[in-house]
Amino acid sequence: MMHTEVKEGFASRALRCVLAAALAAGCFVASAGMAFAYSIDDPLTEEELALAEGGSSASARSLDDFWRWPLPGIGEDHISQDFWSGHGAIDIWAAEGTPIVASRGGVVVATEATNPQELDGYGNCVVVYHEDGTETYYAHMSRRDVNKGDRVYLGQQLGLVGNTGNSFGDHLHFEIRVNATPDEFYWGKRIDPLPYVTGHEYVASANGTYFYDVDFGAYAQWYSELIDRAVVSGLMEGVGNNQFHPEVTVTRAQAFTILCRAADADSLYGNGSNSTPFHDNQVGQWYTGAINWAYSIGLATGDGDDLVRPNDTITREELATLIARYAEKVRGVNAVASSAALAGMDDAHTVSDWAAERVAWAVQAGIMTGSTESDGSLLVKPKGEATRAEMCAFIVRTVDKVG
């Protein structure tokens, strides 16, 4: 293996940067009047650790609770320089042109030196500010694909590996900083990024499903397998660029489209005409046919007006109601249950009267499960907006249960 030879031989020493030297000498000295002492070897406080871990709440590990490895497909055996007192980063060598992706979502706050010392030597680079006061730095790019001010998603391609700035050989210089602010981005305190990105490579599912924002394997989220099944069975798709956006809310048009696929009716209704009374079921949209179908079987009824509101978000109780009606109209299931089925839910009283027997059925059928909170309560969250991950869970379980 060429990689192994380079890694173990003298050449690997070159695949690193000399930002180290500047940093060891106390680089990032504050400008006049700013008393700021920068250090990379102070132990982190509890608060800083909490920040580095992705927030103060240890419960509910969400999409943004940890960073991901920034070079998909490049192993940790490519680390050519560790974090140490003179190098507040890890260097990862990879061939010029290897894609670099955002290790977390955030906003690009800098891409080049703006004062003599800020980012001097970083070459073509990107600094992403994350909303909890942490930042990631990506240096020495051969090409940059984002600009200052851009909002970037977890896993979005930021640029390509290169050898610009104070760099010897193609590699990515990657930093995580804590206690940063978006305006004074270079003040953040560097921490060793390795513990936060180790083991967080992008892993494909057993079926080959591969999204930058969904983990499989050791770091799988609760929804990973459900997304995998929904995608493999053709019920749901990613949003492009190997993204799934599991935490983004689902729209009514998406819900109708997914139910239409579950009914195997998606090839029966074209998008070329609107056969409903809904003025906002616009002809030629990706969802037009699905709404035609939903109207034809009485699934989409409108709210007593002539609108179907395709782009509105949908609450969990609305989605449970839609799914229960799908079960009835498409699969002939009597999809109602008494409110006794909600007895275990601590917020059962917040379910709307019009949705109660539908939500009860969805819970009883195991399609909708409660969410266990940090205080031990179990909530069905009827008014919460359904996410794409939840949609995956509901539709996969619905197909399992009723077909």
The structure tokens listed for 291 are 């709404």
Q: Which is nearer to Zn ion, 19 or 161 (CB)?
A: 19
* Spatial CA neighbour of 134 closest among 233, 48, 17: 48
- Residue 160 contacts residue 100 (beta carbons within 8 Å): yes
Least CB distance to Zn ion at residue 194 (A): 13
Least CB distance to Zn ion at residue 127 (A): 14
Q: Which is nearer to Zn ion, 136 or 276 (CB)?
A: 136
Least CB distance to Zn ion at residue 175 (A): 8
Least CB distance to Zn ion at residue 362 (A): 52
How far apart CA 63 and CA 162 sit, in angstroms, is 29
Taking CB under 5 A as the rule, which mask of x and - marks residues 33-72 in contact with Zn ion? Answer: ----------------------------------------
Least CB distance to Zn ion at residue 144 (A): 17
Q: Does 261 bind Zn ion (CB under 5 A)?
A: no
With helix as H, strand as E and coil as C, how does the chain read?
CHHHHHHHCCHHHHCEECHHHHHHCCCCCCCCCCCCCCCCCCCCCHHHHHHHCCCCCCCCCCCCCCCCCCCCCCCHHHEEECCECCECCEEEECCCCCEEECCCCEEEEECCCCCCCCCCCCCEEEEEECCCCCEEEEEEECEECCCCCCEECCCCEEEECECCCCEECCEEEEEEEECCCCCCHHHCEEECCHHHHCCCCCCCCCCCCCCCCCCCHHHCCCCHHHHHHHHHCCCCCCCECCECCCCCECEHHHHHHHHHHHCCCCCCCCCCCCCCCCCCCCCCCCCHHHHHHHHHCCCCCCCCCCCCCCCCECEHHHHHHHHHHHHHHHHCCCCCCCHHHHCCCCCHHHCCHHHHHHHHHHHHCCCCCCEECCCCCEECCCCCECEHHHHHHHHHHHHHHHC
| Span interacting with Zn ion, options 7-15, 34-42, 56-64, 81-89, rule CB under 5 A | 81-89
Least CB distance to Zn ion at residue 14 (A): 12
Q: Which is nearer to Zn ion, 113 or 307 (CB)?
A: 113
Touching Zn ion, residues 282-341 (CB under 5 A):
none
| Span interacting with Zn ion, options 16-24, 44-52, 147-155, 395-403, rule CB under 5 A | 16-24
Least CB distance to Zn ion at residue 320 (A): 51
| Span interacting with Zn ion, options 45-53, 85-93, 179-187, 289-297, rule CB under 5 A | 85-93
Least CB distance to Zn ion at residue 3 (A): 19
| Span interacting with Zn ion, options 19-27, 66-74, 177-185, 376-384, rule CB under 5 A | 19-27
* Spatial CA neighbour of 89 closest among 190, 186, 2, 18: 190
Q: Which is nearer to Zn ion, 17 or 324 (CB)?
A: 17
Q: Which is nearer to Zn ion, 91 or 192 (CB)?
A: 91
Q: Which is nearer to Zn ion, 91 or 318 (CB)?
A: 91
Q: Figure out which of the listed residues 15, 17, 214, 235 binds Zn ion, where binding follows CB under 5 A.
A: 17
- Count of residues of this chain found to bind Zn ion when the rule CB under 5 A is applied: 5
Least CB distance to Zn ion at residue 87 (A): 6
Taking CB under 5 A as the rule, which mask of x and - marks residues 88-127 in contact with Zn ion? Answer: -x-x------------------------------------
Q: Which is nearer to Zn ion, 91 or 118 (CB)?
A: 91
Taking CB under 5 A as the rule, which mask of x and - marks residues 154-193 in contact with Zn ion? Answer: -------------------x--------------------
Least CB distance to Zn ion at residue 126 (A): 14
How far apart CA 118 and CA 121 sit, in angstroms, is 9
Angle between helices 224-232 and 388-402 (to 10 degrees): 60
Sites of contact with Zn ion (CB under 5 A): 17, 19, 89, 91, 173
